[in-house]
Amino acid sequence: MDHKVIYVAGLGLIGSSVALGIKRDHPDYTILGYNRSEKSRQIALERGIADEVTDDFTSFAPLADVIILAVPIKQTIAFIEELSRLSLKKNVLITDAGSTKFEIVKAAEHNFRHQPIRFVGSHPMAGSHKSGAIAADVNLFENAYYILTPTSLTTEETIEELKGDLSGLRARFITIDAAEHDRVTSQISHFPHVIAASLMEQAGEYAKEHEMTNHFAAGGFRDMTRIAESEAGMWASILLTNKESVLDRIEDFKQRLDSVADKIKNQDVDGIWQYFSHAKTIRQEMEIHKRGGLDSFYDIFINIPDEEDVILTILELLRGTSLVNLRINEKNRDDIHGILQISFKNAKDQAHAQKVIERHTHYKVMIQ
Ligand code: NAD
């Protein structure tokens, strides 16, 4: 189909960014938008995120070839129920953006079971603490995993069609069963958020009696608790719609804590050594430090001297690129030189960075 009508319900960070991504590869598509608040509707029109907007969820739905529900998880389920009562286009393709998948997929399979509706669950695995259309970013999903969870209302063609519609997001599409998605994300995302919040809560209480706690909290503590600043409402919905898996991870972790406590009580030096050593090996094998959470960023490595303004000079040259991360690799230092590693979202910026730095400085830039 050359021209399609895409209906994005929820012009928040995710919905607006998806809409911009769709427009990038399909400028001929019509994007209709729904949003409760006036502000995001206005921004969406001004920035060309949507061609037309409404505050009535049901009004645009019958016009759409594709409907993208980009609202909180509970509201996504409520909208699925509402859509099942409307007269929609035959074979309309409906998807969502929720961070948990099983309950959404179950609701869609149940509510759409007697209708000519195609449904695929989606979880774009990128985001930020920002919200609303004001934060829309056409590059938000570039190189990020975009998880698709098929349902009984999905065929291979449905998946391919959706990937085609979303091609402008430049994301890495992966198809996985909804329940398995929720299990995996409980381990690597949902449970770590519980731990981060608990650590903050514990430290806050402790600081009331031990005032230096706040002053001494530095690098390691900061790394462990960064995600405790996430949006509380979103995390409440995530935990409550992935209850079993998260509770399972919590129970498992309690046993691990008990086992460390036993080792400490028993003065088990070897046991403690093994515990830390094993964790270190596993982390190194996962190569988490290389990825910054995402696979395959495009890295350059620059041999830089310890001189004033070196990093500022380089950053100035890289203005406007898709730079996502920057670190100094101390391990590779030999006296006066260090390796500055800079990651980009795409190969084009990686190549541009190498060229521009080598042209304007005498530093050697390597791509490994
Ligand atoms: P956001 O706050 O930027 O936008 C949420 C949108 O939902 C807004 O348009 C808001 O008006 C609308 N909304 C909220 N409650 C509503 C209600 N009761 N009725 C109607 N509309 C309502 O949030 P977001 O980050 O764009 O999140 C949207 C979805 O994407 C959520 O399901 C979230 O789980 C998922 N998600 C978020 C992230 C992230 O990091 N922000 C990442 C991946 C997936």
pLDDT single digits (tens) 202-251? 999 999 999 999 999 888 899 899 899 988 999 999 999 999 999 999 99
Check if 234 has its Cβ closer than 6 Å to any atom of ligand 1.
yes
Mutate to test the pocket of ligand 1, among 8, 11, 13 (most ligand atoms within 8 A of CB): 13
Identify the pLDDT of residue 147: 98
Q: Pick the residue with more confidence: 130 or 166? A: 166
Weakest mean pLDDT among 77-81, 124-128, 190-194, 195-199: 124-128
Check if 99 has its Cβ closer than 6 Å to any atom of ligand 1.
yes
Shortest-distance Cα residue to atom 19 of ligand 1: 75
Check if 100 has its Cβ closer than 6 Å to any atom of ligand 1.
no
Identify the pLDDT of residue 336: 41
Q: Which residues contact 69 (CB under 8 A, 6 or more apart)?
A: 9, 10, 76, 79, 80, 94, 95, 96, 97, 98
Identify the pLDDT of residue 292: 45
Helix (H, G, I), strand (E, B) or coil at 223: helix
Most distant CA pair in the chain, distance? 71
Q: What average pLDDT score do residues 119-136 get?
A: 91
How far is the centre of ligand 1, averaged over its atoms, from the C-alpha of 70 (Å)? Answer: 6
Residue 228 CB-half CA count within 13 A: 17
Identify the pLDDT of residue 332: 43
Q: What average pLDDT score do residues 268-289 get?
A: 91
Give the separation between CA 267 and CA 290, rounded to whole angstroms.
Answer: 35
Question: Residue 356 has which token pair?
Answer: 């521009």
- pLDDT band for 68, please (50, 70, 90 cuts): very high
Q: Alpha-carbon dihedral of residues 7, 9, 13, 19, nearest 10 degrees?
A: 0
Shortest-distance Cα residue to atom 8 of ligand 1: 12
Ligand 1 atom nearest to CA at 37: 11
Check if 15 has its Cβ closer than 6 Å to any atom of ligand 1.
yes
Identify the pLDDT of residue 296: 60
How far is the centre of ligand 1, averaged over its atoms, from the C-alpha of 298 (Å)? Answer: 29
Q: State the sign of the Cα–Cα–Cα–Cα dihedral 226, 11, 149, 85.
A: positive
Helix (H, G, I), strand (E, B) or coil at 42: helix
Q: Which residues contact 290 (CB under 8 A, 6 or more apart)?
A: none
Ligand 1 atom nearest to CA at 14: 26
Beta strands in the chain (DSSP E): 5-9, 30-34, 52-54, 66-69, 93-96, 118-124, 145-149, 172-175, 298-305, 323-334, 337-344, 364-366
315-367 pLDDT tens trace: 999 999 989 888 876 654 444 456 888 988 888 999 999 999 999 999 989 88
Weakest mean pLDDT among 87-101, 158-172, 234-248, 315-329: 315-329
Residue 289, amino acid: H
- pLDDT band for 307, please (50, 70, 90 cuts): confident
Mutate to test the pocket of ligand 1, among 71, 146, 188 (most ligand atoms within 8 A of CB): 71
For residue 293, pLDDT over 60 is answered with no
7-33 pLDDT tens trace: 999 999 999 999 999 999 999 999 999
Residue 20, amino acid: L
For residue 127, pLDDT over 70 is answered with yes
pTM, two decimal places: 0.84
Terminal CA-to-CA distance of the chain, rounded, Å? Answer: 41
Find the angle CA(71)-CA(104)-CA(12) to the nearest 5 degrees. 10
Mutate to test the pocket of ligand 1, among 8, 11, 14 (most ligand atoms within 8 A of CB): 14
Among left, alpha and beta (phi > 0; psi -120 to 50; other), residue 233 is alpha
Give the separation between CA 7 and CA 79, rounded to whole angstroms.
Answer: 13
Q: What average pLDDT score do residues 97-113 get?
A: 98
> 236-247: b or e for each residue (b if 16 or more CB lie within 10 Å)?
ebbbebbeebbe
Ligand 1 atom nearest to CA at 133: 3
Question: Residue 304 has which token pair?
Answer: 């830089």
Identify the pLDDT of residue 334: 42
Check if 132 has its Cβ closer than 6 Å to any atom of ligand 1.
yes
